[in-house]
Amino acid sequence: MNTAFQSLVDHFGGQLQTAEALNVNQGAVSNWVRGKHGMSPAVALRAEKLTEGAFTRYQLCPSVFETPPQDEVAS
């Protein structure tokens, strides 16, 4: 199953590179990909910024960022 987390890992070129870019350990990245744990809001915001919005906080942490504000939705 290709999730947003696996796509994020692909974007950075691997779990270790993703962990280094987001300043987390590789085990955390593995847990996201395997669905064991979700991503924290702070890391989701960091990922959104580092990927210039290719991966949004809404995709990566939907339990906190449920819906984008109306002024952020593309028309």
Q: Number of structural domains, the chain?
A: 1
- Check which CATH number belongs to the domain holding 29 and give it: 1.10.260.40
CA distance 72 to 12: 25
In angstroms, how far is CA 5 from the centroid of its own chain? 6
| Torsion sign over Cα 46, 33, 60, 28 | negative
In the predicted structure, residue 42 carries a pLDDT above the cut 70: yes
Query: For residue 33, how many other CB atoms are within 10 A of its CB?
Result: 19
> Which residue segment(s) compose the domain that 58 sits in?
4-66
Residue 9 within any structural domain of the chain: yes
Residue 45 within any structural domain of the chain: yes
Task: Output the pTM of the full model.
Answer: 0.84
Query: What are the tens digits of pLDDT across the range 45-58?
Result: 999 999 999 999 99
Residue 35 within any structural domain of the chain: yes
Secondary structure letter of residue 35 according to DSSP:
T
- Phi first, then psi: give them for residue 5, nearest 5 degrees: -70, -45
